[in-house]
């Protein structure tokens, strides 16, 4: 519901510190828990690929492949990793044991089928554990996001959905992780105009994730080759099953 805190796009977003691109549509900032929160997010486009931030689980997205914030053992876990494994069924674990018998290194990507998921593929990528920021965490997190979009392009996929990697129990500060994630995607799309991807989604389950990623997309794309596309991604989804936390 719109409130007196609504801000038109032709003015600077409150608290973002970046100017907004000119667009006829409007996006609302409303107070949630005493702070401004985006309730609708404009889609962004770079070359022919639309980039969206949506509120909801990555498992609910209508895309060709989803990204799983896995761990290096590649044997499932809690949070979104466990949710994906439960939804996919046991055959995905069987495939992981075959294709990654010794697990996988941080920042790499292991691909399996989606099995009982609606998506045909899952990209399992172990993100870095936050150790203060001086141990290569940013490069490793970039490798996760970059590796997944490169894999999607290599396979000729049209759509890919990310969850937030490493910002759960691995402790990566989300306000630092989100710009890294968005930058990795933006830089790939800017340099691969002939990519098969027409849609990339950041599916954020919690309101904090949604807010931070939304602001990161606006901030980074407002001065990039991309531009605001018409239309909104409405807020949806709910915090059920005790929440959905990435590793």
Are 58 and 67 in contact, with CB atoms under 8 Å apart? yes
Q: Which residues contact 146 (CB under 8 A, 6 or more apart)?
A: 184, 187, 188
Closest to 151 (Cα-Cα) out of 193, 108, 214, 194? 108
Are 152 and 146 in contact, with CB atoms under 8 Å apart? no
Q: Tokens 């141990």 identify what position? A: 135
Are 187 and 225 in contact, with CB atoms under 8 Å apart? no
Give catalytic status of residue 60 as yes or no: no
CA distance linking residue 218 with residue 240, whole number of Å: 28
Instruction: Choose the catalytic residue: 36, 64, 81, 211.
Output: 81
Q: Catalytic residues, which ones?
A: 81
């Amino acid at each position: 519901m719109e409130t007196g805190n609504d801000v038109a796009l032709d003015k600077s977003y409150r608290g973002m510190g970046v100017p907004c691109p000119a667009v006829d549509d409007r996006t609302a900032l409303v107070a949630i828990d005493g702070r401004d929160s985006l309730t609708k997010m404009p889609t962004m486009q770079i070359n022919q690929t639309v980039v969206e931030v949506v509120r909801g689980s990555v498992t609910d997205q209508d895309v060709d492949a989803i990204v799983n914030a896995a761990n290096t053992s590649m044997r499932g876990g809690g949070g979104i990793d466990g949710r994906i494994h439960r939804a996919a069924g046991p055959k995905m674990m069987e495939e992981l044991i075959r294709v990654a018998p010794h697990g996988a290194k941080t920042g790499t990507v292991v691909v399996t089928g989606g099995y009982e998921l609606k998506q045909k593929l899952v990209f399992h990528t172990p993100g870095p554990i936050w150790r203060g920021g001086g141990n290569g965490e940013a490069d490793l997190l970039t490798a996760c996001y970059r590796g997944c979009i490169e894999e999607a392009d290599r396979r000729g996929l049209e759509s890919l959905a990310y969850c937030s990697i490493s910002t759960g129990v691995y402790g990566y500060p989300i306000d630092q992780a989100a710009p890294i994630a968005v930058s990795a995607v933006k830089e790939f799309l800017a340099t691969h105009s002939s990519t098969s991807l027409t849609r990339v989604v950041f599916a954020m389950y919690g309101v904090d994730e949604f807010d931070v990623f939304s602001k990161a997309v606006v901030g980074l794309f407002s001065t990039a080759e991309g531009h605001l596309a018409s239309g909104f991604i409405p807020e949806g989804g709910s915090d059920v099953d005790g929440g959905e936390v990435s590793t």
